[in-house]
Structure 1
Amino acid sequence: MDVSVIFVNYNTERLLQNCIQSIREQTNGLNYELIVVDNASSEISVKFIRENIEGITFIESKENRGFGAGNNLGIPHARGKYLFFLNCDTILLNNAIKQFYDFMEEHKTEHIGCIGTYLIDKNLKVTNSYGGFHRLFREIFNRIKKMTRKILRRKKSSPASTTRGEIKEVEVIVGADMFVYKNAISECGPFDESFFLYSEENDLQFRMKKINWKRMIITGPKIIHLEGGSPQNAFRKWNISTVSKIKYFRKHAFILSYLCYKTLVLTYILFMIFMDIFRKKHTMKENTGFLKMCASEKYFV
């Protein structure tokens, strides 16, 4: 088996069906398998998958333990030389899996552990595809910018347009399309399940970096990433993302950086609570709940 494509579904059965359909229409020239891990979705979602999506290995988790844990459930069932962790809210526009596979085979002596492509949105414009590891000074700058924007009542500016670039080494491939050499996972270990959602790809690829596995972004594969497939409250989404970053700093940064970042976040939440006294965007209960969650580094699951 050349490639094992692993999905984690959480009430995204229609998106999953469309993604798998695009894979079957576009993929040829290699042997691949489809593995779907359901993260305790509704009975309707599970029934839909069982009745409408054939030719998959379907694994049901009794509880939703997060994105990384879901992928980890799929890994033992994977027979492929390469693992393709793919979001349900993606659509393949060309023979992307074969292009990923060919690139890794052609560069097998270069110790490449993970690759991804320049993802595009529904308007076919390049969207978030890679980034850097979490760093304290970057987070401080971003928090100050957000606080300033709230005080001045300015809307978030639109991101600068991005164009499809060149093949290059990067720090982190986004979790939506991680094409990973299975041996790299064997060496650095699977996803850290303490990350419920967000930053799990940062953690995994930081561990790859520590044992000299490269991560690269390549051209060729064309994949639409719709983003935000699983239904969830935007405030809760931001909560979970922030706690994941705190966990990341605790695990990988110096103790001083971890304490500084945690203090920064708690200060920012107090600022939000103060601003909401006047703006009433979130309730006091929501804000104080978030404050307690960050202080204890636990999720609302």
Structure 2
Amino acid sequence: MEIQKGIISIITINFFNLEITLDMLRSIASLNRDDLEVIVVELGSEKCDKSPYIEVMNDVIVIHNKDNIGFSAGNNLGIDHAKGEFLYLVNNDTELSNSSIDPLVIALKDQKIGIVSPKIKYYDQKNIIQYAGYTLVNPYTGRNATIGNLEEDHHQYDDIYETGYIHGAAMMTTREHLEKVGKMPLEFFLYYEELDWTSSFHKHKLKSLFVGEAEILHKESMSVGKDSPLKEYFIARNRIIFMRKSSNVVSFFIFFVFCFLFSLPKRLFNLIIEPNKYTLIKPLLTGYYDALHYIINPKKLQPNKGLMFR
């Protein structure tokens, strides 16, 4: 496939959220740019009607896969069809402006920069920040922090600086870098894949940047839900998988002990005492169980097993 220099390929996934996806397309169409290629990967539907997408954006590329193959595999499918020099993977529950794009492209002109994310703000509270970077995950507790989360935006995060990880809702890289690093990892299916992917860039001596001059609005958790069994399972399982992949033997052992003696009992206690949270106990325990099986034999991992809790 011939890569088109200067073109930005915007890739998003629609999983039974058509109206949300169309809102995102409308935000892109309103930019009136001729350097964008827009790709929608529709997952999980038996049949795909492309007409609603085309009514909003007549040159949109729609790729259909009747199976729900997950966040990473869906984005990778879009990457396989993309012709742009720049690859911008964005959630379908985001809305874009020109400031969502141009500062990221400029940052990636530096060959030392591998992948970037913009400032992410909440759509329903447009002056409240969701993401202004991540700290690195603590190798012993598996925890990290989101910089700027829930702060009012007074331009205190308008700078450009290195971040521990980019944010999966909006991340841009280049085709050239992907040839070195590879596409998104497939073990996770949902959650933690962007942390693992960022780590792959770091292993290739490529930096991850937060670009505060760029902004995007995010309607958080439209696809999964803020407190869903699906999310509970994948967060529990994938945190352990991520730590196993990214830690040395000693730090992972300490994390493992911390996880099972502190994190799991604490979470179970909270789910027991909080009203209407008992339905999250089974996915939590199943996530831990499946993570243990991954540690024993990674090749037998079923990335999509958590869909049983949908």
C-alpha displacement of 1:289: 4.6
The equivalent of 1:241 in structure 2 is 235
Task: Map 1:1-301 to 2 at 5 A.
Answer: 1=4, 2-28=7-33, 30-41=34-45, 48-49=52-53, 54-105=58-109, 107=110, 110-122=111-123, 123-125=125-127, 126-139=129-142, 159-161=150-152, 163-232=156-225, 234-236=227-229, 237-267=231-261, 268-274=263-269, 279=274, 281-283=276-278, 286-297=280-291, 299-301=305-307
Query: Do the aligned residues in 2 keep the contact of 1:27 with 1:97 (CA within 8 Å)?
Result: no
Provide the C-alpha distance between the structure 2 equivalents of 1:95 and 1:141, rounded to a whole number of angstroms: 28
> Number of aligned pairs?
281
Q: Check 1:120–1:272 CA distance in 2 against 1; reply closer, same or farther (3 A cut).
A: closer
Query: Do the aligned residues in 2 keep the contact of 1:69 with 1:191 (CA within 8 Å)?
Result: yes
Provide the C-alpha distance between the structure 2 equivalents of 1:287 and 1:164, rounded to a whole number of angstroms: 38
Provide the C-alpha distance between the structure 2 equivalents of 1:121 and 1:278, rounded to a whole number of angstroms: 30
Determine which structure has the larger strand proportion and give its number: 2
C-alpha displacement of 1:207: 0.7
SS at match of 2:130: coil
Provide the C-alpha distance between the structure 2 equivalents of 1:169 and 1:130, rounded to a whole number of angstroms: 8
Range 117-126 or range 194-203, more displaced: 117-126
SS at match of 2:131: coil
SS at match of 1:118: strand
Provide the C-alpha distance between the structure 2 equivalents of 1:275 and 1:24, rounded to a whole number of angstroms: 45
Q: Check 1:280–1:88 CA distance in 2 against 1; reply closer, same or farther (3 A cut).
A: closer
Q: Unpaired segments of 5 or more residues in structure 2?
A: 292-301
Determine which structure has the larger helix proportion and give its number: 1
The equivalent of 1:150 in structure 2 is none
Q: What residue identity is the alignment partner of 2:264?
A: I
What is the TM-score normalised by the length of structure 2? 0.79
Range 197-206 or range 260-269, more displaced: 260-269
Structure with larger RCO (C-alpha < 8 A, sep 6+): 1
